Amino acid sequence: MTRFKTHVALHVRELAPAVAFYRTLFGAEPVKHKADYAKFDVENPGLNLTLNVTDAIAPHSALSHLGIQVDSTEAVKAAIARFQAAGLDLFEERNTDCCYALQDKVWVTDPDGHRWEIFVVKVADTAPEQNLPLPTAKPCCA
H/E element, 32: strand 32-33
If one counts every other C-beta atom within 10 angstroms of the C-beta of residue 105, the result is 23
Instruction: Enter the pTM of the model.
Output: 0.67
CATH number of 5-124: 3.10.180.10
pLDDT at residue 2, as a whole number: 66
Are 95 and 122 in contact by the 8 Å Cβ rule? The answer is yes
Give the closest residue to 122 by CA, choosing from 140, 96, 141: 96
Return per-residue pLDDT of the chain as tens, 142 residues.
Answer: 567 788 999 888 889 999 998 888 787 899 999 999 999 998 877 889 898 888 877 776 778 888 888 899 999 999 899 999 888 899 999 999 988 889 999 998 887 677 889 899 999 876 666 554 444 555 566 5
Question: Structural domain boundaries of the chain?
Answer: 5-124
C-beta separation of 96 from 137 below 8 A: no
